[in-house]
Amino acid sequence: MRMLLSGNEATAHAARLARIEVFPVYPITPQAPMINSIVGFIDRGELKCAHKRMESDHSALAGAAGASLVGARAFTASNSQGLALMHELLFYTAGLRLPVVMAIINRALSAPHCRFPDHSDAIAQEATGWLQLYCENNQEVLDTVLQAFRIAEDERVLLPVMVNFEGYILGHTKEVVEVPEQEAVDAFLPAYSRAVVDVEHPAAINTATNGEIYMEYKYLQHRAMQGSLTVVKEVNAEFAERFGRDWGGAVELYRGEDARALLVAMGSAVSTARIAVDEMRAAGQPVGLLKVRSFRPFPADEIRSVAAGVRALAVIDRDIIYGVGGALHREVQWALAGDAVHKPVLSYIAGMGGRDISVADVKAIGQDVLAATEKGSVPMGAHWVGLKADLVGEAK
Going by C-alpha positions, the residue among 68, 5, 15, 22 that lies closest to residue 38 is 15
Shortest distance, CB of residue 294 to another protein, whole angstroms? 27
How far is it, in rounded angstroms, from Cα 206 to Cα 300? 32
- Do the beta carbons of residue 329 and residue 382 sit within 8 Å? yes
Shortest distance, CB of residue 70 to another protein, whole angstroms? 4
Cβ nearer to another protein, comparing 24 with 351: 24
- Do the beta carbons of residue 99 and residue 133 sit within 8 Å? no
Cβ nearer to another protein, comparing 197 with 387: 197
Dmax of the chain from CA atoms? 73
Going by C-alpha positions, the residue among 286, 316, 292, 295 that lies closest to residue 306 is 292
Question: Contacting another protein (CB under 8 A), which of 9, 21, 136, 302?
Answer: 21
How far is it, in rounded angstroms, from Cα 38 to Cα 20? 10
- Using the contact rule CB under 8 A, the part of the chain among 9-17, 18-26, 158-166, 168-176 near another protein is 18-26
How far is it, in rounded angstroms, from Cα 259 to Cα 366? 11
Question: Contacting another protein (CB under 8 A), which of 42, 50, 109, 387?
Answer: 50
- Using the contact rule CB under 8 A, the part of the chain among 53-61, 159-167, 225-233, 272-280 near another protein is 53-61
Site mask for another protein (CB under 8 A), range 55-94, x = bound: xx-xxx-xxxxxxxxxxx-x-------------xx--x--
Cβ nearer to another protein, comparing 220 with 371: 220
Going by C-alpha positions, the residue among 378, 372, 325 that lies closest to residue 348 is 325
- Do the beta carbons of residue 128 and residue 203 sit within 8 Å? no
> Within positions 213 to 242, which residues make up the interface with another protein, using CB under 8 A?
213
Going by C-alpha positions, the residue among 308, 314, 270 that lies closest to residue 291 is 270
How many residues make contact with another protein (CB under 8 A)? 45
Question: Contacting another protein (CB under 8 A), which of 10, 14, 15, 22?
Answer: 22
Cβ nearer to another protein, comparing 48 with 222: 48
Question: Contacting another protein (CB under 8 A), which of 212, 257, 374, 394?
Answer: 212
Cβ nearer to another protein, comparing 90 with 327: 90
Strands 294-296 and 131-134: antiparallel
Cβ nearer to another protein, comparing 54 with 315: 54
Shortest distance, CB of residue 297 to another protein, whole angstroms? 25
φ/ψ of 319, rounded to 5, equals: -160, 165
87-95 and 214-243 helices, crossing angle to 10°: 90
How far is it, in rounded angstroms, from Cα 60 to Cα 113? 23
User: In what helix (H) or strand (E) does residue 294 lie, and over which residues does it extend?
Assistant: strand 294-296
How far is it, in rounded angstroms, from Cα 177 to Cα 1? 8
> Within positions 170 to 209, which residues make up the interface with another protein, using CB under 8 A?
193, 195, 197-199, 202-209
DSSP, res 367: H
Cβ nearer to another protein, comparing 196 with 240: 196
Shortest distance, CB of residue 203 to another protein, whole angstroms? 6
Cβ nearer to another protein, comparing 30 with 63: 63
Going by C-alpha positions, the residue among 229, 215, 236 that lies closest to residue 150 is 236
Residue 49 in the binding site for another protein (CB under 8 A): yes
φ/ψ of 47, rounded to 5, equals: -145, 130
Shortest distance, CB of residue 395 to another protein, whole angstroms? 47
Reduced 3-state DSSP string for 156-200: CCCCCEEEEEECCCCCCCCEEEECCCHHHHHHHCCCCCCCCCCCC
Cβ nearer to another protein, comparing 176 with 191: 191
Cβ nearer to another protein, comparing 57 with 302: 57
Shortest distance, CB of residue 247 to another protein, whole angstroms? 30
Give the SS3 label for residue 213: coil
- Using the contact rule CB under 8 A, the part of the chain among 2-10, 37-45, 52-60, 353-361 near another protein is 52-60
Shortest distance, CB of residue 37 to another protein, whole angstroms? 19
Cβ nearer to another protein, comparing 72 with 310: 72
Shortest distance, CB of residue 23 to another protein, whole angstroms? 9
Q: Using CB under 8 A as the criterion, which residues of the chain lie in contact with another protein when the complex forms? A: 21-22, 24, 48-50, 52-56, 58-60, 62-72, 74, 88-89, 92, 193, 195, 197-199, 202-210, 212-213
